[in-house]
Amino acid sequence: MMTEALPGTPLLEVTDLEVRYGRVQILYGVSVDVAQGEMVALLGTNGAGKSTVLKAISNLAPVTAGTVRFDGHDLVGLAPEEIVEFGLGHVPGGRGLLADLTVEENLRLGGHLLRGTALAEGLDRAHALFPWFRERRHQLAGTLSGGQQQMLAIGRALVTQPRLLMVDELSLGLAPIVVEELFGVLADLHAAGTTLLIVEQNATQAMAHAERAVFLEKGRVRYSGPAQDLAGRTDLLRSVYLGG
């Protein structure tokens, strides 16, 4: 039986994580924790390994050392679909939609492990958050705008009603007004009790919404603490905005 983490206790614990692709090491002893009900921003320079952390948690990248635990369960070595069943959702960078499938088909793909009432409830949750899904349910995902595709990617991940939602590069390639709207969606989800771990290049937006931040540089943690305190670390943030 799955236990329920208490508010403020670690829901996700990543400890001393290392990832290699062949001879190339990407992560060097990265540790990140996310408490129940918290929003944590994973920030850093391009190529710092932010997306690799999320992929390693979902077992989409090879973990060569360290541990990943979700609500007390060891995730290393589990199949991605098993990890989803524990209550962890992942919105990948680039959205990961199937362009030749419709809006409704992409949503149902997100809930392919669910049956009957559970699937219907999951779809209802996605439709409630983005009502336009119903109106455009027969439209091909590839014909949507960039912002709409990102909304669909979020909605698809929410069909399984995850306890923790990981979002990779929410703002990538989107207009500022769309980014503002999407961060508002994440804020609403957070207020409703969803735990969030977000990888984001837009440090200003991320720090404005997250309670805590973890800053990566060249595969190592350079900062971990309150998001607002990171705003004063110009030595780190300069590398994001000026490219190193």
3-state secondary structure of 224: strand
Beta carbons within 8 Å of 133's beta carbon, 6+ residues apart:
103, 104, 107, 126, 127, 152, 155
- The burial of 13, by beta-carbon neighbours within 10 Å (0-12 exposed, 13-18 middle, 19 or more buried), is given as middle
pTM: predicted TM-score of the whole model, two decimal places: 0.89
Sequence spans of domains, the chain: 8-87+163-173+194-244, 94-161
Task: Provide DSSP, 93-150.
Answer: TT----TTSBHHHHHHHHTTT--HHHHHHHHHHHHHH-THHHHTTTSBGGGS-HHHHH
C-beta of residue 43 within 8 angstroms of C-beta of residue 204: no
Beta strands (DSSP E) in the chain are: 10-21, 24-35, 39-44, 63-70, 73-74, 88-91, 164-168, 195-199, 212-217, 220-226
Per-residue pLDDT of the chain (244 residues; tens, 9 = 90+): 344 555 557 899 999 999 999 999 999 999 999 999 999 999 998 889 999 999 999 999 999 999 999 999 999 999 988 999 899 999 988 768 999 999 999 999 988 877 788 898 989 999 999 999 999 999 999 999 999 999 999 999 999 889 999 999 988 888 999 999 999 999 999 999 999 999 988 888 899 999 999 999 999 999 999 999 998 888 887 766 544 4
CATH code reported for the domain at 8-87+163-173+194-244: 3.40.50.300
